[in-house]
Amino acid sequence: MARFLLTLIAATVALVAMVGIEIVLALKREYLATEPALEIGGTFGSASDPPLTFAVLGDSTAAGVGVSRAEHAYATLLAERLAAEGRHVRLLAFGISGARIGDVLREQVPEAIEAEPDLVFVGISANDVIHFTSLDDVRADSSDMVERLRTTGATVVVAGAPDMRAAAWHEPLRSLAGWRGRSVAAAVEEGARAAGATTVPLAERTGPFFARDPEEAYGCDDFHPGAGGYRAWADAIYPELEKALAR
């Protein structure tokens, strides 16, 4: 029994040391620059079609980090698809790189409310995964965020963290990040649904593509989505926007 316990302790120490090394390497890794930010926004569709003000809130992915042109950002792709269904869409993108859900609540939600949107999409919490925001705070902020946005009469759709098993990271950090990401995404979605929002299981719908074809899915830092990844995100999100608008 003593030998078994010593072996178990040694294995645990080795695992902790390995994870620590992987975290240091991940922190030292060069990721894509967030400045200058892409200019995402504008109008889409015919001016004779019914108007729809569409606001997108979130982190670096909402800001299009990972692609070099705004037309490849998922916010733009969603606006184009909404317009293709006979709407004159005004797209407003409020995403800021590095934002956590608390930042969206404090900084982006007031701006969005002032714009009086008809439809809001929020993609958030990857940074909450990385910075270990408590699940209780994530859940509470998600609920509060949706409640405030819905005071405008807007339809609100929310997605939590994507699959966090980024190609940029090695095992066991990759799997640990995936586990933590699923927990945070579940908390985001639980809070959002409780406040009346539609939710998108983004990790579930797009994770297999990122794992199967990382060269197509990721940007050049193997962390942020590239053009292919954002197309996959738009494919996952758009049906929920239409369903929510129909309701």
Catalytic residues: 60, 221, 224
54 with 92: CB under 8 angstroms? yes
Q: How far apart are CA 241 and CA 245, in angstroms?
A: 6
Amino acid at 56: V
3-class state of residue 51 by DSSP: strand
Going by their DSSP bridges, the two strands 51-58 and 155-159 should be labelled as unpaired
Amino acid at 131: H
15 C-beta neighbours (distance < 10 Å), count:
11
Say if residue 1 is exposed, middle or buried (CB neighbours under 10 Å; 0-12, 13-18, 19+). Answer: exposed
83 with 47: CB under 8 angstroms? no
CA-CA-CA-CA dihedral for 139, 141, 104, 229, to nearest 10: 10
Q: Which residue in 151, 119, 62 sits closest to 244, CA to CA?
A: 119
45 φ, ψ (degrees, to nearest 5): 90, 180
Sign of the CA dihedral 183, 219, 205, 139?
A: positive
135 with 183: CB under 8 angstroms? yes
